[in-house]
Amino acid sequence: MSTIPSITLNDGRSIPQLGFGVWQVEDDQATTAVATAIEAGYRSIDTAAVYENEEGTGRAVAASGVPREELYVTTKLWNSGKVDWSGEQGRSRVERAFEESLTKLGLDHVDLYLIHWPRPMHGDSFLNIWTVFEKLAADGRALSVGVSNFGPEQLDKLRERSALVPVLNQVELHPHFPQHELRAYHAEHGIATEAWSPLGQGKDLLSEPALVKVAEKHGRTVAQVVLRWHLQSGIIAIPKSVTPARIRENLDVAGFELDAEDLAAIAGVETGKRLGPDPQHFDWN
């Protein structure tokens, strides 16, 4: 089993730096994929209410035979536009959504609970949501709390209004879109950076000639090189796959080190282009 390093979060808890994501994986398929991942050695699993696979994920966790305290389970609040998230009604909805996620996962707590989107075009409703997250953390039902797809403006508002700083911000991040400024902000304020789509969704990134050359140099796949880049950059990564061989391959990133020449080559593929929507100008209904 590959040894995966951990990142210590600002609340003193730690998270494996390489986890397993189940975005766009159907519920039944998630059971099989997560079971394969846990058997391979992954100990961090990332799901979300909107993925509609919390039940499948929970089945795999329950059947794994791995002690609960050795697994790190993340899920996310789907704060869509169909619900008014302001005021007491919004806070009640957060609590219900959290309980629904726990029930589907078959757990009495999660290790990390995230607000999925900032939705700045709807004002600062995330601040109201965060008051419930504070309570969930205090009660120990969510051991750590954080955010996803937030920018510095929203993070500033959270830090101004709450003593509880998000432990991490999960954002689109890969060598084509390395998020230099946001990562610098995170480092300044003690917020860990977690990458969704760390492999660029397997599109043009994995066929970049410069990355192919680095992979050949180390006798590794391009995906392994990119994941190694995340680890050496201090980023938490949650690659997704439903193919058993690739699930195991993505975990096998120990035993080699990218040198300065490699890192320069990887930096050279930056395009500044997102694969997903810009969270500051996009709203989910």
- Structural domains present in the chain: 6-200+231-252 (3.20.20.100)
Burial of 272: CB neighbours in 10 Å, binned 0-12, 13-18, 19+: exposed
Residue-level pLDDT at 1: 46
- Listed as ranges, residues in the chain with pLDDT below 70 are 1-2, 285
Nearest alpha-carbon partner for 113 in 182, 11, 25, 200: 11
Residue-level pLDDT at 122: 86
Q: Both tokens of residue 187?
A: 């480092």
pLDDT in tens, 79-115: 987 788 989 999 999 999 999 999 999 999 999 999 9
Residue-level pLDDT at 201: 86
Question: Choosing from 51, 72, 113, 185, which is the catalytic residue?
Answer: 51
Model-level pTM greater than 0.75?
yes
Nearest alpha-carbon partner for 269 in 217, 182, 203, 193: 203
- CA triplet 132, 102, 136: central angle to 5 degrees? 25
Residues 271 and 177: beta-carbon distance below 8 Å: yes
Residue-level pLDDT at 2: 55
Contacts of 137 (CB under 8 A, 6+ apart): 11, 143, 144, 145, 164
Contacts of 191 (CB under 8 A, 6+ apart): 10, 146, 155, 165, 166, 167, 168, 169, 185
Residue-level pLDDT at 228: 98
51 in catalytic set: yes
Q: Which residue has the tokens 């990562």?
A: 183
